[in-house]
Amino acid sequence: MITKMERREFLKLGLAITGVSVGGGFLSVVSNLKGAFASTEEYRKKYPYKPHYTMLIRQNRCIDCGECMKECVKTNNVPGYGYRTTILERYEKNAIGLKREFIPMLCMQCNNPPCVRACPVEATYKDKRTGIVRMHYEKCIGCKTCILACPYDARYFNDERHAIDKCDFCFDARLSKGMKLPACAKVCPTKARVFGDLSNPNDEVFRIVHQMQKAVWVLRPEVGTKPNVFYTTSDREVSDEK
């Protein structure tokens, strides 16, 4: 016989557990579709980005060869103590078969960026045209509030510039000079990083983000940042890619 009080406790416990699995998990299944759709449908009217730069990461393709990081350092003069993009590693000892996964990380170019809100001098801002979160390096006072605000640990303090530096999809180094791809997406040997335009319905990224057969997720959806970097898996052979 369960008393009312016990039942209440039980329900509380259940709630707490759901809270943990949604809130604490790096890969949350619950808000996959919401996370994927929210970025375009909700925000398209509010921020008319053209092109809406975005990156799709086919996570199971990443083999941690480090080519993207190497090319990023070369292109953007990233010092040894910081990174604009990195690869996280997860090892599950008790998993069946495949036990390791690599998760490429970079600035999520959030639609709702906490770093922009945190900056006291408006040195970091959401670009009105492309949607990329960029830096006014000369405005930055180096208070590092944005590093604390960023849920993805995507920013570092650059001593040489005496300013915070971060990934800008290579806008300064490549995109603004007419090149189509950021350095990391260009060199990836397994085509794990797909760079695209979310405002273009014919774009590969648009088509993958707006389908429902295959899971598409974002990192840490619970913080409500609405990232523009999506994660998915790919069953297609690497050799089939152009």
Partner 1 sequence: MKNKVIFMSFGILIFFSTFTYAAGRKIVPGDIIFTAPVKSVIFSHEIHVNKEHISCNICHSTIFNTRALNLQKNKNFNMKSFCKGRYCGVCHNGKIAFSVKTQCARCHIGVRGFERSDRAVKIPKMSSFMPKNALKFGTGNFEAVFSHKKHIGVHCNNCHTKIFPFKYTVGSITMNAIKNGQYCGKCHNGKIAFSAINCLICHSKLSKQNRHTAKH
Q: Which of 4, 5, 46, 97 binds partner 1 (CB under 8 A)?
A: 97
Burial (CB count <10 Å: 0-12, 13-18, 19+), residue 92: exposed
**CB-nearer residue toward partner 1: 103 or 223:** 103
**Does the footprint of partner 1 cover residue 172 (CB under 8 A)?**
no
Residue 111: how many CA atoms within 13 Å on its side-chain side? 27
Which positions from 101 to 130 touch partner 1 by CB under 8 A, shown as an x/- string? xx----------------------------
For residues 203 and 58, give the distance between their C-alpha atoms in angstroms, rounded to a whole number: 16
CB 63 within 8 A of CB 190: yes
Total residues interacting with partner 1, rule: CB under 8 A: 21
Which residue, among 176, 182, 239, 233, has the nearest Cα to 32 in the 3D structure? 233
- The least distance separating partner 1 from the CB of residue 233, rounded to whole angstroms, comes to 11
Give, in degrees to the nearest 5, the angle at Cα 239 between 235 and 242.
100
**CB-nearer residue toward partner 1: 36 or 192:** 192
DSSP structural state of residue 112:
S
* Residue 185 phi, psi (nearest 5): -70, -30
**CB-nearer residue toward partner 1: 24 or 66:** 66
2-10, 96-104, 150-158, 204-212 -> range binding partner 1 (CB under 8 A)? 96-104
Residues whose CB falls within 8 Å of the CB of residue 223, separated by 6 or more in sequence, listed in order: 114, 151
For residues 103 and 90, give the distance between their C-alpha atoms in angstroms, rounded to a whole number: 8
**CB-nearer residue toward partner 1: 44 or 186:** 186
Amino acid letter, residue 134: R
Which positions from 211 to 240 touch partner 1 by CB under 8 A, shown as an x/- string? --------------------------xxx-
Which three-class secondary structure state does DSSP give residue 222? helix
- The least distance separating partner 1 from the CB of residue 61, rounded to whole angstroms, comes to 6
Which residue, among 101, 97, 98, has the nearest Cα to 89 in the 3D structure? 101
Q: Which of 87, 132, 194, 198 binds partner 1 (CB under 8 A)?
A: 87
How many of the other CB atoms lie within 10 Å of CB of 12?
A: 10
- The least distance separating partner 1 from the CB of residue 101, rounded to whole angstroms, comes to 6
**CB-nearer residue toward partner 1: 12 or 100:** 100
Which positions from 38 to 77 touch partner 1 by CB under 8 A, shown as an x/- string? ----------------------xxxxxxxx----------
- The least distance separating partner 1 from the CB of residue 103, rounded to whole angstroms, comes to 11
**Residue with the two structure tokens 């808000």:** 31
- The least distance separating partner 1 from the CB of residue 98, rounded to whole angstroms, comes to 4
Chain contacts with partner 1 (rule: CB under 8 A): 60-67, 87, 89, 97-102, 189-190, 237-239
